[in-house]
Amino acid sequence: MLGNLKPQAPDKILALIGEFRADPRQGKIDLGVGVYKDATGHTPIMRAVLEAEKRMLENETTKTYAGLAGEPEFQRAMGELILGAGLKPETTAALATVGGTGAIRQALELARMANPELRVFVSDPTWPNHVSIMNFMGVPVVTYRYFDAETRGVAFDAMKQDISAAKKGDVVLLHGCCHNPTGANLTLDQWAEVASILEKTGATPLIDLAYQGFGDGLEEDAAGTRLIASRIPEVLIAASCSKNFGIYRERTGCLLALCDNPATKELAQGAMAFLNRQTYSFPPFHGAKVVATILNDAGLRADWQAELEEVRGGMLRLREQLATELRDLAGSDRFGFLAEHRGMFSRLGASPEQVARMKEEFGIYMVGDSRLNIAGLNEATIPVLARAIIEAGV
């Protein structure tokens, strides 16, 4: 039977990791996979995470099953982190999931349970796994224009035009902040215009919030999501704790379904717990407990926020330095967008040939669409990258 399986194309980003490891060159630079790294190339465990784990080790007395939909303390803390004072527990269903990916998958399953004719509108480009999951599920994907290849900003008029074609029963997938892979984001005024279009069409937004705290700050990065939540009666939010808590391998995420009345919330909550039961039964406990421990303890929370701010500030400084270096080398401001973009990624706008040349000649690894992981850089490697970008003719 298993011999009937068709070979799967390897995930391009994960394949790049293997290629990078196999490269014997000393000065190679990994700007591929989306993991935060400090200046030494290490992905550290955050201080508050270590402390929370220490407390858990001291205090936990059982490993028996916990909640099928997750623990209320985690759901509540995540709801508040994302929605702030706008959280309405009586109409918000919440589910602990296997990372942000699990939240996206369960959101799509939930939407399809509610509407078997589901279509999903996604930005062009988007995180490739969005499209891959939808294709695997057999959910039709409609792309909306998003990235302006000339300015490397958001092609907002085109985006508005394209998402206006969504109808009630469709889902429009939006990146809450730090758009992956482009780094180009909506302004708050633009979020308000998107909300108006969603109001008019009746389509349901699904907000993928994988980088809260990596862009302009914890509150700022949630502002678009909060605006949508304040205006649209039904909103799905798929949040990941992988990046902002640095707990990638613990697989921690959360799906929120904001409903317009308590009866619908109960329906959604039941369906979401059912989806966990059908897929993997109980969600992972450890990472969710770490997150809840941090968010519900003033001291740990302050320390976590301080460290997250260091991480965010470090990435902004790298952006500034790279943009400055390129301004000097290019003698123009055409790479200024690198300092405007937010989050871990920027789409450089290089051709596949230029990306290949940077890899072959300079040992610089980025995703084929010229997505750079800014956190893969440090003060010493920025000049090397800048020179490669210019010499490759970008």
Of residues 10-39, those binding ligand PMP (CB under 6 A): 34
Question: Which range of residues in 80-88, 93-101, 291-299, 367-375 is near ligand PMP by CB under 6 A?
Answer: 93-101
Does position 214 interact with ligand PMP (CB under 6 A)? The reply is no
Question: Which range of residues in 99-107, 133-141, 263-271, 287-295 is near ligand PMP by CB under 6 A?
Answer: 99-107
Identified binder of ligand PMP from the candidate list 75, 106, 242, 373, rule CB under 6 A: 242
Does position 100 interact with ligand PMP (CB under 6 A)? The reply is yes
Nearer to ligand PMP, 127 or 156 (CB): 127
Does position 212 interact with ligand PMP (CB under 6 A)? The reply is no
Alpha-carbon distance of 286 to 265, in angstroms, equals: 26
Q: Which residue has the tokens 């068709």?
A: 6
Instruction: Give the chain's largest Cα–Cα span.
Output: 63
Amino acid identity, position 373: N
Identified binder of ligand PMP from the candidate list 122, 154, 210, 275, rule CB under 6 A: 210
Does position 125 interact with ligand PMP (CB under 6 A)? The reply is no
Does position 250 interact with ligand PMP (CB under 6 A)? The reply is no
Nearer to ligand PMP, 13 or 229 (CB): 13
Buried/exposed code over 143-155 (b: 16+ C-beta within 10 A; e: otherwise)? ebbbbbeeebebb
Identified binder of ligand PMP from the candidate list 91, 92, 106, 180, rule CB under 6 A: 180
Does position 106 interact with ligand PMP (CB under 6 A)? The reply is no
Nearer to ligand PMP, 374 or 382 (CB): 374
Smallest CA-to-CA distance from 129 within 112, 153, 108 is with 108
Single out the catalytic residue among 166, 195, 203, 210: 210
Annotation marks residue 243 as catalytic: yes
Structure tokens at 346: 């920027």
Task: Give the end-to-end CA distance of the chain in Å, rounded to a whole number.
Answer: 49
Does position 240 interact with ligand PMP (CB under 6 A)? The reply is yes
Annotation marks residue 85 as catalytic: no
Annotation marks residue 208 as catalytic: yes
Cα 374 to its chain centre, rounded Å, is: 15
- Residue 78 φ then ψ, to 5°: -70, -40
Does position 253 interact with ligand PMP (CB under 6 A)? The reply is yes
Does position 363 interact with ligand PMP (CB under 6 A)? The reply is no
**∠ CA(31), CA(37), CA(43), 5° rounding?**
130
Nearer to ligand PMP, 79 or 287 (CB): 287
Query: Nearest to ligand PMP by Cβ — which residue?
Result: 99
Smallest CA-to-CA distance from 80 within 206, 216, 239, 283 is with 239
Does position 127 interact with ligand PMP (CB under 6 A)? The reply is yes
Structure tokens at 213: 């705290």
Q: Catalogue the E-assigned strands of the chain.
A: 29-30, 92-98, 120-124, 141-145, 171-175, 204-209, 235-240, 252-258, 345-347, 364-365, 371-373
Identified binder of ligand PMP from the candidate list 79, 99, 125, 343, rule CB under 6 A: 99
Alpha-carbon distance of 319 to 166, in angstroms, equals: 35
Nearer to ligand PMP, 180 or 185 (CB): 180
How many residues in the chain? 394
Size of the site for ligand PMP (CB under 6 A): 12
Alpha-carbon distance of 115 to 169, in angstroms, equals: 6
User: Residue 223: in which H helix or E strand, if any?
Assistant: helix 218-231
Does position 208 interact with ligand PMP (CB under 6 A)? The reply is yes
Residues forming the site for ligand PMP (CB under 6 A): 34, 99-101, 127, 180, 208, 210, 240, 242, 248, 253
Residues identified as active-site: 127, 208, 210, 243
